[in-house]
Each structure stands twice: as C-alpha cells, then as structure tokens.
Amino acid sequence: MAIKTGGRIPASTVNMLNDGIEPISTQPFFAGRKILLFAVPGAFTPTCSNQHLPGYVQHLDDFERRNVTVACMAVNDAFVMRAWADSQQVPESLVMLADGNGAFTRALGMEMDGSGFGMGHRARRFALYAEDGVVRILHLEAPGEFRVSSAEAMLQALDDMKL
C-alpha cells in the first residue's frame, strides 16, 4: 500500500557514502525535521540528470531558507549515488540516499517495474514533504512525466502551505 498524506514514514534503512557506507534508519532520519524527499528512477538517467536533480540543486537555498532539508533517493548503491552527486556538483547539504535493495521504496509503496527497459525494480518518480516523520505533501508523477515532483512544484506546494 502506497504512503499517503498524513501517513508516517515507514521504518527502513538506506545508505549514504561518507568515509564508508553509512546506514541511515529512516524513522530517526525524519524525526524532528522538515524533510523534502524526492525520488528518481535512476542516477545518471536523462530526466533525472538533466532536470530533476539539477532543479533541486538550483533551488536548494530556497528550501534551506524554509528550514527544509532536501534528500534525493534512488534504487542505486551508495557508490553510484556519490559518483552522481560528484558529477552533478551537488552541495553536501543536499542528502543523497541510496536505497540499493529498494527496501525503503517498497515500504513507501513507490516501487515500479522497469524491467522492460533493463532497469529492474526502481522507485517511481515522486516528491514528498514530511514534518517529524509525517507526510504533509505527496506528489507522485504519472508514468513518463516530470511535473509535480520538480523543485519548483514542491516550492509552490510549500508556499501554498504558508511554509
């Protein structure tokens, strides 16, 4: 069952690459914070690399002024996520989360089957905003689209909430 507005972030583990692979428990990560999590089907893929991630990099200051931490997630390993971040010149304050086995993606109910494109199971393209682990905004893209999960769309949604 897919996460919905008002739902709690499920317990799972994702990874980051710092001095080594660092496991991150999702519930403590989201606790007591304002987090904007956006997910992409894959690092280095065209829309993700040309539009989705760059939009959040460009508008990172706008989120930070609202005291919102931005995190990007993909069903890729931590090494790929770090290489992608480096290639895109992602500031360290934008958190790159690797959901290598797709466990968190499945727990959110946001998995898609990209086997027809040779990609296996991946995250659907979406963005959510959570406060203290509770989803306040959820924008899920229709297959093949990139509109509602963009940085600009999420900034507008936060403005509509008066945040």
Q: Going residue by residue through the chain (163 aa), what tens digit of pLDDT does each one get?
A: 799 999 999 999 999 998 889 999 999 999 999 999 999 999 999 999 999 999 999 999 999 999 999 999 999 999 999 999 999 999 999 999 999 999 999 999 999 888 888 777 989 999 999 999 999 999 999 988 999 999 999 999 999 988 7
Which DSSP category does 8 fall into?
A: B
Tokens of 36: 């904007």
What pLDDT score was predicted for residue 118? 74
- Tell me the whole-structure pTM to 2 decimals: 0.96
Q: Sign of dihedral through CA atoms 139, 89, 31, 78?
A: positive
- Cβ neighbours of residue 4 closer than 8 Å, sequence gap 6 or more: 135, 138
- Of 16, 39, 48, 135, the catalytic one is 48
Residue 101 DSSP class: T
CA distance 157 to 150: 11
Is 48 catalytic? The answer is: yes
Is residue 29 within 8 A of residue 132, CB to CB? The reply is no
User: CB atoms < 10 A from the CB of 80, how many?
Assistant: 18
Q: Which residues pair with residue 138 across a beta bridge?
A: 128
**Residue 117 per-residue DSSP state:** G
Kind of pairing between the strands at 126-131 and 21-25 = unpaired
